[in-house]
A and B are shown apart, each in its own frame.
Chain A
Amino acid sequence: MEDLFTSEIVRAENLKKTFTLSRKQQRLEKTSLTRKVAVNGLSFSANRGEIYGLLGPNGAGKTTTLRMLSTLIKPDEGDAYIMGHSVRKEPQKVRDCVGFLTGELKLETFFTPDYLFDFFGAMHGVEKETLVKRKRELFARFGIDAFSQVKVGDLSTGMKQKVSLVISIVHDPDVVIFDEPTNGLDVLTAKVVTDFLAELKRMGKSVLLSTHIFSLVEKLCDRVGIIIDGKMVEEGPLEGVCGERSLEEKFFELYHGLKGEIV
């Protein structure tokens, strides 16, 4: 039991999520269907200390999956376990051991990094002394000290990104879930993020990220899961999935097999 929980840190079992489409969405997606299966029976697992990449095209269901894992939305069917806690039955416990972050910056611009760190520490219920210690440590480690008293709105994009990354691990979560970490970022800021992820791995954390960028997976991830149309079509250690080919070649092979030629 113990062993299972410590090595297998995230386990998704047959996750399923269907959305009711609004009129507006039907128009946008040019469909008359009222329901859309966004995630369709997804199962996978990620181990401690690994970086796991969910790879898939637009609309594949990556965001939906990660939102279910971080308890922002509930699966219709199936369940997922983070550190052994069910996202359905123990969402509070899951939130305590998960840090969730999306690629876009979502910090209030009015506050300083210092203030926000304390605020989110309090939101996660971190003890005062622990918080002070962790702040000193993380701010030094990621070079935030220099601008910890400057309002977020006045920081450069790279600095902002660093701040939101650090704040996502204020409660020292075992798992960090990251939706499209480098989406829309310039090369310099993207580098801040990839360095951060590598550093998280060194710190012994498990990372679950979603992306449609092949190189990001090849550079960072230990395991990869390829999602197309809400289904996991291939899953395993990076070398195992790719074999001799590049990840890109493998992906398109799978994609053509499923959907035919792209027009």
Chain B
Amino acid sequence: MKLVALIKKEFHRFFHDPRLIVTILLPGIVIFLLYTLLGNIIHTEESREMKVYLSGNSAVVEVLEQQIKESGDKVEWLPLENEEEARAAVKEGEATAILTFSENFDLFGEGARAGIVYDSGSENGSYFYGLVTSVLISVGMRFPIDVQTVNDSADMGREILTSLLPFLVVTFVFSACMSVTLESVAGEKERGTLSTILATSVKRSHIALGKIIPLSCISAIGAASSFLGVVLSLPKLMGLDAAMFTGYSFISYLLLFLLILSFVPLIVSAIATVSTLSRSVKEASAYTSVLMILVMIVSIVSLIVAQFGDWVVAVPVLNAVTAMGQILSGMLPVWQSLVSVGVNLVFTALLVWLIAKMLSSERVMFGK
């Protein structure tokens, strides 16, 4: 009962204050507009002209052609006669890709394979690759496509996406949590309204939960807004089609979502912890910036160090960032993600317990 009233109060404050709602939603909107604008400046909307060597035949080719025409681009199909020459042409940028289909590909029987060779460093190449994967998935292809790139580096678009997105997500989630939590916990302590509640017979653990639960929900809205802003505008920025994103399965989206969701209460309770310790909002924001720098360092470290051992799932923040990176690069670290989510929740619970302890500590609440 008392917990419900505490939670309701936080929501009430939030949803009746248009300023707060804007603060929460704004980052996502700004990111989207900014990135889209940048994308438009960098990539002029010229129509593409693609040359693709084709070997074997499939109904997929027709679908591809139609899609390409619909987006105002052109494609020229060349028969694949000399593979060496064709590869050289792709490498030189004279052709976009080589697309191969095994015999009876459309029957989807045993041995049915599709293959693509492209230059991931070229914009057209990446675009065409994204298109092919999405069309293949849409016609129900369930087996892997043989992918080769003529350059040594892996798929450029994906690589940027992979390395940048976890970092961006972490940063935006953190700032969403920060704008909500600092005001609500440190602000209440500074103004002394928290001790008014302490003088009532409500349990300390309920006061802690009464903050963490609603603030996490509200921060999650902000995080989702920022995340959507990034996801919707990144392809535009990189000159890629949204088709690229359909390369990820439902499961990978679900895991990403869960990881972010478990990350939010963790950050909220970490900020709430330092806010409870601080005497003023100013002091709390100083500690919180240190916290933010730590979290950013952790996510940068995970970019540089590509491979961690399995122990990484036990480290909050690092576990989520690592798993996100793996998902975005096309892997499906199912158990790692789930364990990471669990670990984050355990740490959140620990922090909530710590906050409750601090709320009953004289030194923390009434110290001079």
Give the contacting residue for B200; candidates A73, A106, A124; CB below 8 A.
A124
A70 to B196, CA, bound (A): 11
Chain B positions 1 through 43: 1 when the CB is less than 8 Å from some CB of chain A, otherwise 0: 1101110010011001100000000000000000000000000
Q: Are A95 and B199 in contact (CB under 8 A)?
A: yes
A259 to B365, CA, bound (A): 33
With a CB–CB cut-off of 8 A, which chain B residues contact A71?
199
Q: Are A106 and B368 in contact (CB under 8 A)?
A: no
Interface residues on A, range: 20 to 34
With a CB–CB cut-off of 8 A, which chain A residues contact B9?
111, 119
Q: Are B366 and A92 in contact (CB under 8 A)?
A: no
CB of A138 within 8 Å of the partner chain: no
Q: Are A106 and B367 in contact (CB under 8 A)?
A: no
A71 to B204, CA, bound (A): 13
With a CB–CB cut-off of 8 A, which chain A residues contact B2?
122-123, 125
Chain A positions 117 through 133: 1 when the CB is less than 8 Å from some CB of chain B, otherwise 0: 01110111100000000
Nearest-neighbor residue (CB-CB) of B197 within chain A: A123
Residues on A lying within 8 angstroms of B by beta carbon are 19, 22, 24-25, 67, 70-74, 92, 95-96, 98, 100, 102, 104, 106-108, 110-111, 115, 118-120, 122-125, 171
CB of B201 within 8 Å of the partner chain: yes
With a CB–CB cut-off of 8 A, which chain B residues contact A108?
13, 188, 191, 193
Within 8 A of A (CB), among B177-207: 188, 191-193, 195-202
Q: Are B193 and A95 in contact (CB under 8 A)?
A: no
Nearest-neighbor residue (CB-CB) of A22 within chain B: B368
Q: Are A92 and B201 in contact (CB under 8 A)?
A: yes
Interface residues contributed by chain B, number (CB under 8 Å): 27
Kindly provide the distance from the CB of B29 to the nearest chain A CB, expressed in whole angstroms.
24
Give the contacting residue for A95; candidates B1, B191, B200, B362; CB below 8 A.
B200
Give the interface SS of chain B, mostly helix, strand, loop or mixed.
helix
Give the contacting residue for B12; candidates A24, A74, A115; CB below 8 A.
A115
Q: Are B5 and A123 in contact (CB under 8 A)?
A: yes
- Knowing A104-B192, A106-B192, A125-B1, say if A25 contacts B368 (CB, 8 Å): yes
Q: Are A22 and B367 in contact (CB under 8 A)?
A: yes
Q: 13 A–B contact pairs at CB < 8 A?
A: A24-B368, A72-B362, A95-B199, A98-B199, A107-B193, A107-B196, A110-B13, A111-B13, A120-B196, A120-B200, A123-B201, A124-B201, A125-B201
Nearest-neighbor residue (CB-CB) of B184 within chain A: A108
Kindly provide the distance from the CB of A261 to the nearest chain B CB, expressed in whole angstroms.
30
Nearest-neighbor residue (CB-CB) of B188 within chain A: A108
Kindly provide the distance from the CB of B11 to the nearest chain A CB, expressed in whole angstroms.
12
A74 to B365, CA, bound (A): 13
Kindly provide the distance from the CB of A203 to the nearest chain B CB, expressed in whole angstroms.
20
Q: Are B17 and A106 in contact (CB under 8 A)?
A: no
Within 8 A of A (CB), among B310-368: 362, 365-368
Kindly provide the distance from the CB of B279 to the nearest chain A CB, expressed in whole angstroms.
11
